[in-house]
Structure 1
Amino acid sequence: MRHYGAQPGTLDRGDDRAWYLSSTIKIPVAIAVLEQVDAGTLSLDETLTLAQTDFVDGSGDMLEHKPGETFSIAALLEKSLRDSDSAATDMLIRKVGEDHLNARIRDWTGGGFGPVTTILQVRYDAYDPVHPGVAQLDNMAIVRLRNADAGEPRLQALAQELGVPRADLDADTLESVFDAYYRGDRNTATLPAFATVLDRLAAGELVSADSTRRMLDHMRAISTGDRRISAGLPPDTDFAQKTGTQLRRACNVGVIDPGRAREGATLVLACAEDFDDITQAETAFQGLGRALGDTVLDAEGG
């Protein structure tokens, strides 16, 4: 947490460790896209065509559309940020390029982020060590895994997609599969590094005023944050945020009072791990929201 204002201060309980970010990586993706819009190399009205290879499991409605349909970059940004749609996000990453995206993140932060990949690549990277045949599965086989419950049923579904016995998978549990992935550096960052992105975004240092406003408005209107930090904040708190969720991992990052930027905004970034049920993480995030309302925000208001 980093607060600007009459009583500024920083509280960091992350021990400078890198956290798996899940869908919160959609913030830097959107910034990289809007940089190119500001530079005139992309247009918000430009359309991208949905390909069969763009489909990936997750939130949002892109899986309900058909390959060949077109979407404006403006629409994909909204879907990515507000609805956390992973297919929309991967289309945007495809447009700007992973190498360019990661180079820009390094320029904004000076370090602290691991390589950011497409959401679909996360799935391949997690399952690849389990069986050599994973790399040959098409993305729709990966998407179909979502129909099985998390845990042993999903590993059985993976074996079925591969056409091999469950015993051929080098995996004791689904949790161990993802824990191994989390130990890598892909799609991770230290919370201070991510805070730098949020700080510079709110301060208008990364994209134009119009693009900053677009980003923050989308983040204010996300459809996935009602049970996390915002649920503990005082009513009507101006909170531009993004959530991320993966197996036994969850994050919630954002800026409270972003319009005040370094005059009075509060950056808040929280991640949770190894919970048995997502409601445990949500309860912890809500407690953080209440604590912020009772201390930092109340002191600033008073």
Structure 2
Amino acid sequence: MEQLRQKLSDLLAKAQGSWGVVVEDLDHGTRFEHRAEESFIAESVIKVPIMAAVYAAADRGQFTMDDRLSLRKEDLVKGSGLLYTLSPGLKLTIRELVTLMIIQSDNTATNVLIDLVGKERIDQTMFELGMQQSKYSRKLMIYPVDISENNTITACDVSRMLGRLATSKFLSHRACEEMIGIMKKQQVRNGLPSLLPSPEDETDWEIACKSGWDTGRQHDVGVLYVGDRRFSIVALSQNVQAEAALEVLGQLGKEVYEYAKGSPRS
């Protein structure tokens, strides 16, 4: 992995802003780290542990993923997603809400799910996923903000979480498979997968990912599958312009893909 480490180091040395990056070969345990313990505002990456908290609550019999919830007027918040454009009273299954939260980064769906499981369940889930330096503090897009603290993450914590989901070491194999399957349907693909071959040209790769962004921050995290290889990639940035950050994210994904294609399996 030394050649990949050098390429990623060179890329980040030239990158605008500050970056926290972890890339891990999930089959061999080798990894690259760059400022892995540094804390970043989570943005929508926090939605992945929220998804895990929903599955944990379902696993404990609090509800089933096929139960339906009705949207209330007070649930509707703007930002990412489309639920806020729809009418109160719409009923969606919990699984559908989770899917919208991940693949469209829907903030309304996220807040409904936060209300469903509660902060204590989210905190416990993050602990169980190994996210001990990260913190969930508040819902999304609520103004005025009733809690001043931000949701925070570190690249190292997110890497642990992705590793446990990808290797079915959280809850059950079925739950992890469902969560990874939802992330594979991601519709926001302008970061890590943006420079990967199009499905028409190459069908040997998949990515299960989740991005997050705001002014000066651009994150993307996920699990890249290339043939029978699995790599978790976590890239968090701050003090960076969106266009420059997205270019770095695309290059990161491309470098890992090319390494996975060209390096020996064992």
Question: TM-score higher than 0.5 here?
Answer: yes
- The answer for unaligned runs of 5 or more in structure 1 is 129-134, 136-180
Q: What is the Cα deviation at residue 284 of structure 1?
A: 1.0
Structure label with greater radius of gyration: 1
Query: Are the aligned partners of 1:254 and 1:268 in contact in 2 as well (CA < 8 Å)?
Result: yes
- Matched letter for residue 78 of structure 1: T
Match of residue 72, structure 1, among 71, 74, 93: 93
Q: What is the Cα deviation at residue 301 of structure 1?
A: 6.0
Q: Does 2:63 correspond to 1:42?
A: yes
Match of residue 191, structure 2, among 213, 228, 235: 228
**Larger strand share, 1 or 2:** 2
TM-score (structure 2 length as normaliser) = 0.82
Query: Are the aligned partners of 2:104 and 2:186 in contact in 1 as well (CA < 8 Å)?
Result: yes
Q: What is the Cα deviation at residue 256 of structure 1?
A: 1.3
Counting matched residue pairs gives: 239
Q: Does 2:217 correspond to 1:252?
A: no
Q: How does 1:187-266 map to 2 (within 5 A)?
A: 187-225=151-189, 227-234=190-197, 235-236=202-203, 237-257=205-225, 264-266=229-231
Q: What is the Cα deviation at residue 94 of structure 1?
A: 0.4
Task: Determine the structure 2 residue equivalent to 1:51.
Answer: 72
Q: What is the Cα deviation at residue 34 of structure 1?
A: 0.9
Task: Determine the structure 2 residue equivalent to 1:22.
Answer: 43
Query: Are the aligned partners of 1:27 and 1:81 in contact in 2 as well (CA < 8 Å)?
Result: yes
RMSD: 2.3
- Matched letter for residue 166 of structure 2: A
Give aligned-pair identity as a percent: 22
Q: Map Cα deviations across residues 130-182 of structure 1 (whole Å, 9 max, x no partner).
A: xxxxx9xxxxxxxxxxxxxxxxxxxxxxxxxxxxxxxxxxxxxxxxxxxxx7x
Q: CA 1:110 to 1:85, structure 2 compared with 1: closer, same or farther past 3 Å?
A: closer
Q: 1:85 & 1:93 partners in 2: Cα distance?
A: 12
Q: 1:32 & 1:259 partners in 2: Cα distance?
A: 30
Q: 1:13 & 1:244 partners in 2: Cα distance?
A: 19
Q: What is the Cα deviation at residue 300 of structure 1?
A: 4.1
Q: 2:144 & 2:93 partners in 1: Cα distance?
A: 27
Q: Does 2:243 correspond to 1:279?
A: yes
Q: Which stretches of structure 1, 4 residues or longer, exceed 6 Å deviation after superposition?
A: none
**Larger helix share, 1 or 2:** 1
Q: CA 1:89 to 1:299, structure 2 compared with 1: closer, same or farther past 3 Å?
A: same
Q: Which moved more, 1:28-37 or 1:207-216?
A: 207-216
- Matched letter for residue 3 of structure 1: D
Q: CA 1:71 to 1:258, structure 2 compared with 1: closer, same or farther past 3 Å?
A: farther
Q: What is the Cα deviation at residue 4 of structure 1?
A: 3.1
Q: What is the Cα deviation at residue 258 of structure 1?
A: 9.0
Q: What is the Cα deviation at residue 26 of structure 1?
A: 0.9
Q: 2:209 & 2:264 partners in 1: Cα distance?
A: 20
Q: 2:179 & 2:235 partners in 1: Cα distance?
A: 20
Q: What is the Cα deviation at residue 90 of structure 1?
A: 0.7
Q: Map Cα deviations across residues 97-126 of structure 1 (whole Å, 9 max, x no partner).
A: 0122112212321611123421134x544x
Q: 2:66 & 2:36 partners in 1: Cα distance?
A: 43
Task: Determine the structure 1 residue equivalent to 2:256.
Answer: 292
Q: What is the Cα deviation at residue 74 of structure 1?
A: 1.4
Task: Determine the structure 2 residue equivalent to 1:3.
Answer: 25
Query: Are the aligned partners of 1:59 and 1:86 in contact in 2 as well (CA < 8 Å)?
Result: yes
